[in-house]
Amino acid sequence: MSQVVNNLRAAFQKLTSDVDRALLTRVGNQEQLSIVWNEVLRFYEAAEINKEAFSAVEWSTISQAIKDMVAYLDAAALASADPPEALPLAAAQRVMTGRKGRPRVEIHREVLIEGSLHRSNEAIGEVVGCSARTVRRRKLEQGLAAPALPVFEEQVDENGDIVLHRNPPPRREQTLTDEELDFLVQEILTRFPNFGQSMINGALRSASIYVTRERLVASYIRVHGAPRPFGDNTITRRKYSVAGANSLWHHDGQHGLIKYKFVIHCFIDGLSRFITGIRVNTNNRAATVLDLFLDAISKHGCPSRARGDHGTENLLVAAWMEEHQGPDRGSYIFGRSVHNTRIERLWVDVTQGFGKKWKEFFLDLEMQCGLDPQDPMHIWLLHHLFLDALNRDATVWAEAWNSHIMKIDGQPNRSPRDMFFFSMMENGPRGMQYLLDEHIEDLANYGVDWEDADNPQIMQHLLANNPHEADDRARAARNLPPRMNEVVCEAPPAPMLPPLVQILDQALLTRVNLQSDDMGVRQIVWMEALNIFVHLLGHAQFILP
């Protein structure tokens, strides 16, 4: 019997540790907490059978602890892991007018402007607490909508009788001709040849251009020809359990172009998948990543927490978060890339959107146009010619991504920008000010999408574009301790003085179209630039030592 008691005591100690960990890392995750809750009850059943073996005091302590565990787990299942810093944003307020009836609902102009880009009057009314008709009236009063025809209108029919005619509901005016729409779609597909319907529509919406689905499909067929399966490409994803927008940002660097000394760095909001910052850099320094992060928070607010891998380039962001959001609460969560699946899933879309296009372009320059990626002077010229174009593609792609409508199981179809904006009102604001929340020590599993972590396509893409991760996976399999990884990427210095660089640029302006987004034209740009560059290098007095 003493052996049974000792086993139960050891199991109780382990159970206590498991419950503590769950209360720290799984707040609000009912599915995961229910597993621990069942473990507690199973232990209680086993212990109760042998309760006579314990002293009265020890059994009283154990039974009370079990009751407390159950109560804490129940409360945690209904709680939020990241409470908002303030009450939900006041999108509207009720004003007494001095007249009979209910107070007047005043809706902030900014909410009407931004909300109208994403949702109907009815959906906006649900958020601000009024009817769709009230939203419509406020838009009319503030000049944000044009008056429509009355719902019913008296008309005289062919017999001379007066009849009521119902006017059709107002629709957004289609001002683009088919030719103009085709031109825009052609421009988008020239820059992003792998875009489908949703991303093309997102690119148009990001430029405040709205067309019907029917017109978009017809334009795509005219420009591109008969499409591949062009309908519902819904991606089934497990529900993501973070508290709201700016609760957790994921970030990473993608090394698919590191052969040419380019690294793509990106930050994405976990709840909405809204890209808060993306930039193509020619180095992988921690200061470079911090610069992008600070630029992102100046525009979109500061996240409560951030998650990244063990790369040394993340150290300054981690230090900044610990300093400004507080230590010992998981302000920055280090983890393996295979658990940072929110952004690893995004990298698949980045590669398809514009990364693959540029990688194939650089390979073509190697095979056909004299590019030597081992020559620092060639790499400098590549950066000089195409870094800005790469960043323009990244920015335009991110705007299209943030505006494209996503289809997610169990939720309405929304764009990332829509979800980010309305989450601030529905789930409470985060990132508007730097306040601390509850004490949390271990957040290893916070922000992990385990379904994406088991997705072979995402994992293959991760290893293909970040080969150093293969070694980390082997270390994890052997239960070795984590370590910091350093992926070195440094741009070569300019091989010649500024006056000669200006001569190069001026000569190119007279020979090629430097503003073209066509990759064939860019190939010509490279060949012309390389010829001029080689010629100018003969001017030894302008060459840097």
Query: What pLDDT was estimated at residue 88?
Result: 60
Contacts of residue 517, Cβ cutoff 8 Å, sequence gap at least 6:
187, 190, 191, 389
Q: Which of 25-29, 184-188, 227-231, 376-380 is predicted with the least confidence, judged by mean pLDDT?
A: 227-231
Q: Which residues pair with 320 in a beta bridge?
A: none
Could you state, in order of their start, the residue ranges of all structural domains in the chain? 1-78, 92-139, 178-224, 248-473, 498-541
More confident residue, 534 or 171: 534
**At residue 236, does pLDDT exceed 70?**
no
Q: What is the mean pLDDT of residues 409-415?
A: 81
Contacts of residue 432, Cβ cutoff 8 Å, sequence gap at least 6:
85, 86, 301
Query: What pLDDT was estimated at residue 422?
Result: 86
Q: What is the mean pLDDT of residues 239-261?
A: 86
Could you tell me the pLDDT band of residue 521, with boundaries at 50, 70 and 90? very high
More confident residue, 431 or 302: 302
Query: What pLDDT was estimated at residue 127?
Result: 84
Q: What is the pLDDT of residues 123-154, one digit of tens each?
A: 888 888 888 889 998 988 888 888 877 777 77
**At residue 48, does pLDDT exceed 50?**
yes
Q: What is the pLDDT of residues 304-336, one digit of tens each?
A: 899 988 889 999 999 999 999 888 788 898 876
Smallest Cα–Cα separation from 134: which of 151, 112, 101, 110? Answer: 112
What span, in angstroms and rounded, lies between the C-alpha atoms of 180 and 182? 5
**At residue 412, does pLDDT exceed 70?**
yes
Query: What pLDDT was estimated at residue 443?
Result: 46
**Residue 182 token pair:** 């085709």
DSSP structural state of residue 463: H
**Residue 27 token pair:** 């707040």
Beta carbons of 246 and 430 less than 8 angstroms apart: yes
Q: Is 3.30.420.10 the CATH number for 248-473?
A: yes
What span, in angstroms and rounded, lies between the C-alpha atoms of 485 and 466? 11
- Report in angstroms the alpha-carbon separations of 504 from 124, 373, 499: 54, 20, 9
The amino acid present at 343, given as its one-letter code, is: I
Beta carbons of 347 and 263 less than 8 angstroms apart: no
**At residue 534, does pLDDT exceed 50?**
yes
